[in-house]
A and B are shown apart, each in its own frame.
Chain A
Amino acid sequence: MDNNRFFFQHYGLTEHDLERYLAAALSAGGDYADLYFEYLSSTSLTVDESMVKSASQGISAGCGVRVVSGERTGYAYTDDLSANRILHAARTAALIASGPAKTPSAGFQQKQARSLYPVTLPSVDAEITAKVELVMRGDRAARAYDPRIKEVRASYADELRNILVVGSDGTFAEDSQPLARLNVSCIAKTEGTSARGSSGGGGRVALDFFFGEKTPEYFAKEAARQAILQLDAREAPAGEMEVVLGPGWPGVLLHEAVGHGLEADFNRKQTSAFAGLIGKRVASEKCTVVDNGTMPWRRGSLNVDDEGHPTQETVLIEKGILKGYLSDKLSARLMKTADTGNGRRESYEHIPMPRMTNTYMLSGQDNPEDIVKSVKNGIYAVNFGGGQVDITSGKFVFSASEAYLIENGKVTAPIKGATLIGNGPDVLTRVSMVGNDLKLDEGVGTCGKDGQAVPVGVGIPTLKVDRLTVGGTAKRDPGGFMQ
């Protein structure tokens, strides 16, 4: 990646300034200090009732200063990048430490960074008329799919985040991070029944991605298909049963069931149900789970994390055995483990913490058709809304938005959305079959932790979980579900 020196060019910053700010941050001591400069420009467009009803653009810029002393973190930020305001923020953050001033290491080292999203024209700078065309095409395609599609909302959003991270250990990292997403949601209506469908995707891609690889028509048809299908959905069963998860976005299971529980901060504090389980079996031997921030163009990928550390591929679970945690600088130092490049933050207003990037399970040996055939009575879930986890008790949920009954090895009727609930540390031990069809999601995931939202990716091959609780309402026994 070339040295674009965005903040040097646009704000007249110099290395001398950065050294001065870091010295102010360490003026009361501390182990480490860093500065995170961010300049975020964004666009969004929405089509509703076939009209572009909303269009907006915005700029948000600022600098966050962090001082770390032992396990303590002081943080302050400013949206004004003038020297006196940054120095004021640095001195405020410095209040966390109480000792003699320390001197930051002299000079910065910029590491050779990857270039995972080398767009020539960031979408945020592309012609707005092309973006209008995308949302209008999404609207038309969804309506054309079926006359029962009555309401369509198509939206497009993109951003370009320029960042500079410098640390008192000599860290110097710049990145220019594009992100774009197109989404179509619709409502199908018949006499007395309504249903919704939604589909979208994108990544750290240029605008041409939506004119070539994944068009508005692709997402529109998928959203419309789901809505029409749901018109005939019957009540979901309730209780424990076999569950087959389709490939791709159902990987949100991994994100909730194990991903959060393996973030190093929870384990350092021993507040995760996974604490102390390194080297222990937490999944069936068919399961290997990784977090990989280095996949080109992916929504969850980053050249460097928000602490300036290069991202990497980290094996979390290998053949069922827990191998490692996702770490940021603070946890790596306190736990004396490697920094895995997972220190992320929502913006300059936020303190970084360990977060996932793209989290997925590697393909196994099983044929997806055989997996479905092996189930006598269960459900086959292929699309999900979101999920949530209580990392301390380990209990997690995720909500199916498209699922079917499996009866005697065959996928039969579609069922209404139902929440699936399980226990993180043991759900993967019940994975008895793993398909050979790993797929990642389309690029729609946003993860929340401590009020901070960051883009992520998930993925799984087709999986069979021998026992999972399904939260349906079916009152009578459609095939042996209720006890």
Chain B
Amino acid sequence: MSSTQLENQPEQIETDLRNLAQEMVSRAMSGGASAAECVIAEGDEFSTLVRLGQVETLKESGSRSIGVRVFNGKRTASTYSSDFSREGLDRMLKSALELSRITSEDPFAGLPEPSQLGSLSGDLDLYHPDVYSLPGQERIAYARRTEKAAIDVDARIKNSDGGSFDAATGHKIFANSLGFRGEYRRSYCSIAAVPIAQDESGAMQRDYWFSVARSLAKLDSPENVGRIAAQRTLRRLGSRKVKTAQVPIIFDPLVAASILEHIFEGVNGDSVYRGASFLAGKLGEKIAADQITVIDDGTIPGGFGTSPFDGEGIPTRRTVVIENGVLKSYLLNTYTAKKLKLQTTGNASRGLAGTPGIGLGNYFLQPGMKTPAEVIGGVKEGLYVTEFLGHGANLVTGDYSRGASGMWISGGELAYPVEEITVAGNLKEIFFNISEIANDLEFRGPLACPTIRIDGLTVGGE
């Protein structure tokens, strides 16, 4: 780790990437920066898609990139590059230092306090090289089996957007001028099926199902995934519109997650300090129904949102965001915490460029006791939403209006499929109107929500 290595290898630096990150920070400091950070991300990906039994695409590659952020007193700027040659790295550093002279002095800009820095110890169970352990033909077979399982369920499944197998690994390295050095590796694999069903009228419907895991050993079987994908698709055949009405709405876990995401957007420190969130200024206030408890926990071993430290080198932690309906904490990085006169919650996210944003750990709504069937069973006439289209949520006003499809509920049972309808309300009321929470919490990503029931929304149809 020294600049002499750079001179010895003018073509390509194959030196240890941890040392490179540290070295970029040192060189930024000797170049005049008052503080600096460096992040390096490298990753490999494999994906294959099989359609109607035939391989359609095979993709395999890897890449890496490096980014620096420098401070010039209270001014900051960042640059990134995929070019690891000496020339490329020199230019990246030089541009960052130059750029930091034209940005504004921001009294709140800066690195975290040294005492805040750190990394969780112990094995967080994030990296399993077995995601690449299958030979090429076996990977294709996984994708093929997933699709076949879907097609074999019913003769009405006449087409397919394929079955897929994906795997990826990532390696992240971070260093700053306060002496922080950290790195972690994560792995990921998934299978999915997207069958297409057709009814007598010729109308087509598609849906999907997937399984995702950090280890191949934890992946659901292709047969299971394909079968569920087929069931989800078949139940949509014969979809119709319904009349405009105000009825109870049950959100299945995948669409309920989007409601939880709106809470995240609302407690995101960046929108809070700018007053762009309907939850700004509501700390300590009741913002949701009594049974609502929302937690963000970046420390859960094996979690999709787990990491030993955040985008600024702060250890991740468990934060109670909402407890029994009361807003307990925003999710913050160093900058937004300073703006709000609070402490960071270790939720800094970082790409290669720009200032750190706010990211999720493992973020979830605490499950209730009833089964999803019991929750549906409590609705006489209502809507079970299984898919949203579009992004009609206004986080400033809380206005909410989205395209939807799903099943009509009659007498506590799923009666018939519906589509081309809208669901609308206001987020401020929606969280108070979550009247039931089921027990089916399952993580398929960093954000998870059980089945929920929300009252008082308007269904727009005929």
Contact = CB atoms under 8 A, between A and B. Distances in A.
Interface string A43-58: 0100111111111111
| Main SS class of interface, A | strand
Interface in B224-246: 236, 239, 241, 243-244, 246
B323 to A, nearest CB: 26
A400 B278 CA distance: 20
B29 interface: no
B59 interface: yes
Interface in B271-297: 274-276, 278
A39 to B, nearest CB: 9
Interface stretch (B113-121, B149-157, B372-380, B396-404): B396-404
A395 B419 contact: yes
Given A80-B12, A397-B390, A469-B460, A392 B196 contact: yes
Contacts of A189: 275
Contacts of B60: 75-76, 92
Interface in A173-188: 187
A482 B459 CA distance: 11
B5 interface: no
Interface residues of B, number: 84
Interface in B381-425: 387, 389-392, 394, 396-397, 399, 401-403, 405, 419-425
Interface in A458-478: 469-473, 475
Given A59-B83, A96-B58, A239-B461, A395 B389 contact: yes
Interface stretch (B20-28, B32-40, B203-211, B309-317): B203-211
Contact of A398 (B54, B104, B390): B390
A271 B88 contact: no
Given A61-B82, A349-B63, A423 B420 contact: yes
B258 interface: no
A396 interface: yes
Contacts of A389: 389
A151 interface: yes
A238 B55 contact: no
B55 A59 contact: no
A240 interface: yes
Given A96-B58, A472-B424, A416 B399 contact: yes
Contacts of B136: 95
A78 B61 contact: yes
A473 B426 contact: yes
Interface stretch (B72-80, B260-268, B363-371): B72-80
B80 A59 contact: yes
Contact of A96 (B55, B99, B275, B354): B55
Contacts of B425: 473
Interface string A188-202: 010001111000000
A73 B162 CA distance: 14
B159 A270 contact: yes
Interface in B424-441: 424-426
Contacts of B204: 271, 273, 392-393
Contact of B353 (A58, A73, A193, A196): A58
Interface in A409-432: 416-419, 421-423
A170 interface: no
B423 A471 contact: yes
A150 interface: yes
B103 interface: yes
B65 interface: yes
Interface in A7-60: 44, 47-60
Given A55-B99, A151-B276, A393-B204, A388 B161 contact: no
B324 interface: no
A386 B397 CA distance: 18
Interface string B90-114: 0110011001101111100100000
A483 B387 CA distance: 25
A187 B424 contact: no
A395 B420 contact: yes
Query: Which 10 pairs, one residue from A and one from B, show the smallest C-beta to C-beta distance?
Result: A471-B422, A397-B403, A397-B390, A51-B104, A238-B460, A56-B353, A58-B80, A419-B392, A239-B244, A392-B206
Given A55-B77, A75-B57, 17 more contacts: A52-B103, A56-B77, A56-B353, A59-B82, A75-B59, A76-B61, A79-B63, A79-B82, A95-B136, A271-B206, A385-B391, A390-B389, A393-B204, A393-B239, A397-B422, A398-B390, A469-B420
7 contacts: A57-B96, A80-B12, A187-B396, A194-B278, A393-B205, A469-B241, A471-B403
